[in-house]
Chain A
Amino acid sequence: MQITSPAFKANARGALADPHLQEALGHVRSGFIDKRQKAVDALPEFDALRDSARAIKDHTLAHLDLYLEAYEEKVKAAGGRVHWAETAEDARSLILDICRAAGARTVTKGKSMITEEIGLNEFFEKEGIRPVETDLGEYIIQLRGEHPSHIIAPAVHLTKNQVEADFRRAHHHLPPTRDLSEPASLLSEAREVLRAEYFAADVGITGANFLVAETGSSVIVTNEGNGDLTQILPRVHIVVASIEKIVPTLADTSQILRVLARSATGQDMSVYTTVSTGPRRPEDPDGPEEYHVVLLDNGRSSMLGTEFQDMLRCIRCGACMNHCPVYHAVGGHAYGWVYPGPMGAVLTPSLIGVDKSGHLPNASTFCGRCEAVCPMHIPLPKMMRHWREREFARGLNPATQRYGLKAWAFFARRPRLYRLAASFAIPALSAFGGAQRRFRYLPFAGGWTKHRDLPAPESRTFLQQWRNREADKQEART
């Protein structure tokens, strides 16, 4: 997928002016926040489980090499195969080889952010293989030639009327007079259309929420059941997962499962939690005959041991974006690559480089809601600051010096704007009195894109830095 992260500012401006998008984004604000809160309030152990989940991931990451080896052993013992991929390109060609060996023409896909990350669909199309997304949201955006705008609700940027228009355009074999005015009729139609695809597919591809070292299992967590039909009906099941998905045991998995669905959709458990181990057994009447796992690194191993290691705890629940005022204002596509919202602002520079991700680490009001709701206690604002500091450090290089100076000069001439923007930082949250009220006070539509540029470094205040720079310049001149 084409990276447009450096154009975040322009993307954001476009997003703010798009009435369909603004209508659709209202559903993010109203849909996710209350449901999560209710589910969290109903479980007294929620915070203890968060601590437990964090400890499990920290332990696993500190021993990742050993858990990867243990996991591979178990997959093999169950009759599956593990393929290691250092880069997106390696993963694509490994997947293609498996598909070619299976003689695949059609491949069904369960929802998977990793296959977005490696650009699998575009690659398949070039290679003459037809990928069919089966998650309703993914199916809709595939019809539109778009990419997900949210990691768990890929089509959240669309309204029902837009989906109806897409279905009428794509399903021209169905009577044009049919009633598609309700979401239910759209869902039924997608169900009918996709049923045939599951049976036509030679290969089914899913992601994984967890890879369990104890048993060599992959785990997917879904609500629709498409991920299951994708993996039990075709002859070959390929799991594509990144190396940090490993957890030690099934007992550890249950700890994280308890915070995952609650944080994501406010469910106690998602409808389908499916633990898959190897291919079907000789006596099994159904299930895939081959089971492959493509294990992707793609930059994660270099995040270990750095200030960004904590990001590898992420379980892709989406809570950080559901609670982010910037995401609420501009949606996911403005972030310009696969991962949107606060987790994307941290992960994107790690995976594709801070030079290609432009202003993403600045796409924040530093209100701190993302960290407050993150089930894995990932210090997202702090990591965005780390990126800013790195950008700043790079800004001292002649090549990029001008950008940095321009932004600073802008704020230096507008001290009032600086103070206003600074007041959005973490302590402001309580002063404004909770997310709902705060949202009304923030002058998003007009003013937000201006505030976004603020460097707000943690260690020194802006004015101090500005003075130091001016002093340095004076010194250099004399």
Chain B
Amino acid sequence: MSAREAILNKVRSSLGTAPGEAARAEVVAKRLADAPTGVVPARGQLADKERIALFCGMAEKVSATIDRVEKPADVPEAVSAYLRSRNLPASVRMGADERLREMPWSGVKSLEVKSGRADPEDEVGVSHALAGVAESGTIALHSGVDNPTTVNFLPEHHIVVVEAKDIAGDLETVFSSLRQKFGKGKMPRTLNLITGPSRSADIQQTLLLGAHGPRALHLIVVDGG
């Protein structure tokens, strides 16, 4: 008997059931198909303006910084301003995301834009979020050529562009938009839900920012996006 059969048999005998009980199988199939929504906090269920404000407030509470711009074309200048304010080199890493690529990067003097997955030397990564989650100030990003996952973790500074219209009230909404994009039950290799810059409290419970991931998370919210 394989280990698989042995374990499943033990589970069944402990539960006092036999394989192939139709009623149980139906319950499970239905639950997986329907994926019922549970308790959703009222906190994020707000009109657009208030929801976006909540997102920004929650993100700031977890030490992300926020910049709000009017339109996508304003993003390169906002990135450049961030680099200057932190005395960072004028060089960013980003993937092939079309929304980012269509922005006027060449309008920012002497800014180097490197494409592809991140290297250990990269100091700043720029990503475009799939969505934001207002209830917790979280951003959602997924792997792929558009926004490689290494960009989320290797650079010391992670700048994430999120369109205001993509800011949802709750996590469930983000999961269902993912379902729409990839199909029911299908997922990209990696979905990152990121809430603030990396941190550790492992030494004497002292909270410190910048553990293994980025030391700083800067969110650029595009209002008219």
With A135-B202, A153-B202, A275-B191 as given contacts, are A86 and B3 in contact (CB-CB < 8 Å)?
yes
Say yes or no: is A143 at the interface (Cβ < 8 Å to chain B). Answer: no
The listed residue (B24, B117, B189, B196) touching A63 by CB distance below 8 A is B24
Q: Would B32 and A187 count as touching, CB distance under 8 A?
A: no
Q: Would B186 and A304 count as touching, CB distance under 8 A?
A: no
With A30-B205, A285-B117, A286-B117 as given contacts, are A224 and B211 in contact (CB-CB < 8 Å)?
yes
Say yes or no: is A307 at the interface (Cβ < 8 Å to chain B). Answer: no
The listed residue (A27, A63, A184, A232) touching B153 by CB distance below 8 A is A232
Stretch at the interface among A8-16, A118-126, A245-253: A245-253
Q: Would B172 and A281 count as touching, CB distance under 8 A?
A: no
The listed residue (B15, B197, B202, B213) touching A304 by CB distance below 8 A is B15
Say yes or no: is A144 at the interface (Cβ < 8 Å to chain B). Answer: no
Docked pose: A216 CA to B198 CA in angstroms: 27
Chain B stretch 1-42: residues in CB contact (< 8 A) with chain A: 2-4, 6-8, 10-12, 14-17, 19, 24-25, 27-28, 31-32, 35-39, 41-42
Q: Would A224 and B213 count as touching, CB distance under 8 A?
A: yes
Q: Would A59 and B198 count as touching, CB distance under 8 A?
A: no
Stretch at the interface among B67-75, B81-89, B98-106, B136-144: B136-144
B20: min CB distance to chain A, Å? 10
Say yes or no: is B110 at the interface (Cβ < 8 Å to chain A). Answer: no
Q: Would B41 and A45 count as touching, CB distance under 8 A?
A: yes
B94: min CB distance to chain A, Å? 12
Docked pose: A276 CA to B153 CA in angstroms: 15
A156: min CB distance to chain B, Å? 7
Docked pose: A24 CA to B138 CA in angstroms: 32
The listed residue (B14, B120, B205) touching A31 by CB distance below 8 A is B205
The listed residue (B4, B16, B200, B213) touching A136 by CB distance below 8 A is B200
Q: Would B7 and A243 count as touching, CB distance under 8 A?
A: yes
**Which residues of A lie under 8 Å from residue B150 when comparing CB positions?**
232-233, 285-286
Q: Would A287 and B202 count as touching, CB distance under 8 A?
A: no
**Which residues of A lie under 8 Å from residue B186 when comparing CB positions?**
78, 215
For B187, the closest partner residue in chain A by CB is A277
Docked pose: A184 CA to B210 CA in angstroms: 9
The listed residue (A158, A228, A248, A306) touching B31 by CB distance below 8 A is A248
Say yes or no: is A7 at the interface (Cβ < 8 Å to chain B). Answer: no
Q: Would B202 and A136 count as touching, CB distance under 8 A?
A: yes
Q: Would A187 and B200 count as touching, CB distance under 8 A?
A: yes
A41: min CB distance to chain B, Å? 13
Stretch at the interface among A266-274, A352-360, A413-421, A448-456: A266-274
Q: Would B116 and A224 count as touching, CB distance under 8 A?
A: no
Docked pose: A32 CA to B214 CA in angstroms: 24
**Which residues of A lie under 8 Å from residue B202 when comparing CB positions?**
135-137, 140, 153-156
Say yes or no: is B185 at the interface (Cβ < 8 Å to chain A). Answer: yes
Say yes or no: is B149 at the interface (Cβ < 8 Å to chain A). Answer: yes
Docked pose: A316 CA to B120 CA in angstroms: 33
Q: Would B189 and A284 count as touching, CB distance under 8 A?
A: yes
Chain A stretch 22-71: residues in CB contact (< 8 A) with chain B: 24, 27-28, 30-32, 43-45, 48-49, 52, 56, 59, 62-70
- Grouping DSSP codes into helix (H, G, I), strand (E, B) and loop, the B interface class, with mixed when no group exceeds half, is loop
Chain B stretch 141-182: residues in CB contact (< 8 A) with chain A: 143-145, 148-150, 152-154, 170-172, 175, 178
With A269-B136, A272-B192, A286-B149 as given contacts, are A251 and B37 in contact (CB-CB < 8 Å)?
yes
Docked pose: A63 CA to B17 CA in angstroms: 9
Max chain A Cβ within 10 angstroms of own Cβ: one of B7, B15, B37, B150: B7
Say yes or no: is B203 at the interface (Cβ < 8 Å to chain A). Answer: yes
Docked pose: A65 CA to B18 CA in angstroms: 10
Q: Would A297 and B212 count as touching, CB distance under 8 A?
A: no
**Which residues of B lie under 8 Å from residue A250 when comparing CB positions?**
35, 175, 178
For B25, the closest partner residue in chain A by CB is A66
With A153-B202, A159-B204, A183-B206 as given contacts, are A277 and B188 in contact (CB-CB < 8 Å)?
yes
Write out, one digit per residue, whether chain A residues 288-322 have a CB within 8 A of any chain B CB (1) or not (0). 00000001010001111110000000000000000
A98: min CB distance to chain B, Å? 15
Say yes or no: is B66 at the interface (Cβ < 8 Å to chain A). Answer: no
Docked pose: A397 CA to B57 CA in angstroms: 63
Q: Would B203 and A63 count as touching, CB distance under 8 A?
A: no
Chain A stretch 74-91: residues in CB contact (< 8 A) with chain B: 74, 78, 84-86, 90
Docked pose: A191 CA to B193 CA in angstroms: 22
Q: Would B213 and A228 count as touching, CB distance under 8 A?
A: yes
Say yes or no: is B208 at the interface (Cβ < 8 Å to chain A). Answer: yes
Identify 14 residue pairs between A and B in the complex whose beta-carbon atoms are under 8 Å apart, listed by A's number.
A56-B38, A65-B17, A153-B202, A155-B202, A156-B202, A156-B205, A183-B206, A183-B208, A223-B211, A243-B7, A248-B35, A254-B172, A268-B136, A272-B195
- B contacts, CB < 8 Å to A: 2-4, 6-8, 10-12, 14-17, 19, 24-25, 27-28, 31-32, 35-39, 41-43, 58, 62, 95, 116-118, 120, 135-138, 143-145, 148-150, 152-154, 170-172, 175, 178, 185-206, 208, 210-214
- In the complex, besides A225-B212, A271-B199, A285-B117, 8 extra interface pairs with C-beta distance below 8 angstroms are A49-B39, A63-B24, A191-B212, A248-B35, A251-B175, A270-B195, A272-B193, A284-B145
- A contacts, CB < 8 Å to B: 24, 27-28, 30-32, 43-45, 48-49, 52, 56, 59, 62-70, 74, 78, 84-86, 90, 134-137, 140, 153-156, 158-160, 163, 183-184, 186-188, 191, 194-195, 199, 213-217, 223-226, 228-229, 232-233, 243, 248-252, 254-255, 257-258, 265, 267-281, 283-287, 295, 297, 301-306
